[in-house]
Amino acid sequence: MRLTDCHNFHDFRALAQRRLPSPIFNYIDGAADDEATYRRNTAAFEDVDLLPRVLRGTPEVDTSVTVMGQKLALPFYLSPTALQRLFHHQGERAVAGAASKFGTMFGVSSLGTTSLEEVRKFAGPQVYQFYFHKDRGLNRAMMARAKAAGVDVMMLTVDSITGGNRERDKRTGFSIPFRLTLAGMAQFAIKPRWGINYLLHEKFALPQLDGHVDMGGGAVSIGRYFTEMLEPTLNWDDLAGMIADWNGPFCLKGVIHPDDARRAADLGCQGVVLSNHGGRQLDGSRATFDGLAEVVDAVQGRVDVMLDSGIQRGTHIVKALSLGAKAVGIGRAYLFPLAAAGQAGVERMIGLLRDEVIRDMRLMGAAKVADLGRDNIRYRRP
């Protein structure tokens, strides 16, 4: 199987599975507990049908959107994800480079493996994703550094005050950085190309955290990072303080309840991302598409509502836009292509998804995103 054989999410996932050592593949692919929310995230889109409008003559389709003051050429963006250099040695450079090329937004993760300053060199809209640590000094330093790097939008992730129960990672012993002991090597020996690339390229690091995660003293599981380093008492007052300190466009990622979205609007956020972290945190949490209309209605246009979790197709994006999302984030949908083929993989995926959105909008009779609305969809169940 080659990159040119990849036509959709499932093809990229299969190619990534072939290329990656299994602990890494399962870290990306896995979710919390029984992974019920993970499955529902995508299945939810099948509970509504699209109602295309015909005979409207739509030769040109404009896919651009504006979210939180950022102009995106596409209505989907690359949601922030951790550890990208583990998935492919080009890591964040590949993903940010591809996003820049297509004029869409890239999210820089607090757990990124390429420095914020390096990623900022790529033109185009970007958000900086923030994890709120117990160490307030670290938080202040991270914010000051983000300001100095010219970050426009600050995105605070609020669904991860403790680690989700990711049992696949427990089974495989997934941790950062990989200690390539003899036993560790054995696990990776069956994927020698990945191992050689990992060893030959720059040393693994988490530059956004600037030495605060101890890389020398042994491997840290992702669950331990969340549980030991992040602030479990994080509350609305902390958010208000952070919004004031940041003094610029601010966005909350990981909102599910409409009242929380309303409160984020009251506090002056420009955006909320309806997200359950791709099912990786609280299993049984509501699928984001199921809750989208309620959240859009709750905020009454006071904040831009975005949605992520479960997006695999152009029609998923068209359905979310029809219900009132301003843009849609993708996670695994670009991570598998990254793992499969680096920047070439991410570019192929973005191009395919863009073509799907254009084709779907044309078939819907929508020449621009604003032409999509609730009248374009019907729920199958009352």
Ligand X SMILES: Cc1cc2nc3c(=O)[nH]c(=O)nc-3n(C[C@H](O)[C@H](O)[C@H](O)COP(=O)(O)O)c2cc1C
Residues near ligand X (CB under 6 A): 27-28, 41, 79-82, 109, 111, 129, 157, 253, 275, 277-278, 308-311, 329-333, 335
Q: Which is nearer to ligand X, 188 or 226 (CB)?
A: 226
Q: How far is the CB of 283 from ligand X (least distance, A)?
A: 14
Q: How far is the CB of 291 from ligand X (least distance, A)?
A: 15
Q: Which is nearer to ligand X, 310 or 366 (CB)?
A: 310
Q: What angle do CA 270, 272, 275 make, to 5 degrees?
A: 160
Q: Which is nearer to ligand X, 220 or 367 (CB)?
A: 220
User: Quick one: how far is CA 239 from the chain centroid?
Assistant: 21
Closest approach, Cβ 274 to ligand X, in A, equals 10
Rg of the chain on CA atoms, in Å: 20
Identity of the residue, 81 or 366, whose beta carbon is nearer to ligand X in the bound complex: 81
Q: Is 201 a catalytic residue?
A: no
Q: State the residue for tokens 């938080």.
A: 139
Read off the tokens for 226.
């969340």
Q: Is the peptide bond before 177 cis (omega within 30 degrees of 0)?
A: yes
Minimum Å gap between C-beta 58 and ligand X is 28
Cβ of residue 277: shortest distance to ligand X, in angstroms? 5
**Distance (Å, whole) CA 261 – CA 259:** 5
- Closest residue to bound ligand X by CB: 331
Beta strands 377-379 and 48-50, pairing class: antiparallel
β-strand pairing of 106-108 with 327-330: unpaired
Tell me the β-bridge partners of 106: 78, 126
Maximum Cα–Cα distance for the chain, whole Å? Answer: 65
CB of 53 to ligand X, least distance (A): 29
Measured from the CB atom, the residue of 243 and 273 that comes closer to ligand X is 273
335: tokens are 């991570």
Catalytic residue among 88, 89, 133, 277: 277
The DSSP bridge partners found for residue 76 are: 328
265 versus 339: smaller Cβ distance to ligand X: 339
What per-residue string of b and e applies to 195-230 under the rule 16 or more CB within 10 Å gives b? bebbeeeeeebbbbbeeebeeeeeebbbbebbeebb
Give 143-152 contacts, CB < 8 A, sequence gap 24+: 143/242, 143/245, 143/246, 145/116, 146/116, 147/246, 147/248, 149/116, 149/117, 149/120, 150/120, 151/108, 151/116, 151/120, 151/126, 151/127, 152/69, 152/70, 152/125, 152/126, 152/127, 152/248, 152/249
Question: Cα separation of 171 and 152, whole Å?
Answer: 39
Question: Six-digit token pair at 219?
Answer: 């491997």
Answer whether 152's CB lies under 8 Å from 222's CB.
Answer: no
Residue nearer to ligand X on the CB measure, 253 or 348 = 253
Shortest distance in whole angstroms from residue 129 CB to ligand X? 5
Q: Least distance (Å) from ligand X to the CB of residue 275?
A: 5
Q: Choose between 97 and 331: whose C-beta lies nearer to ligand X.
A: 331
Annotated active-site positions, please? Answer: 277
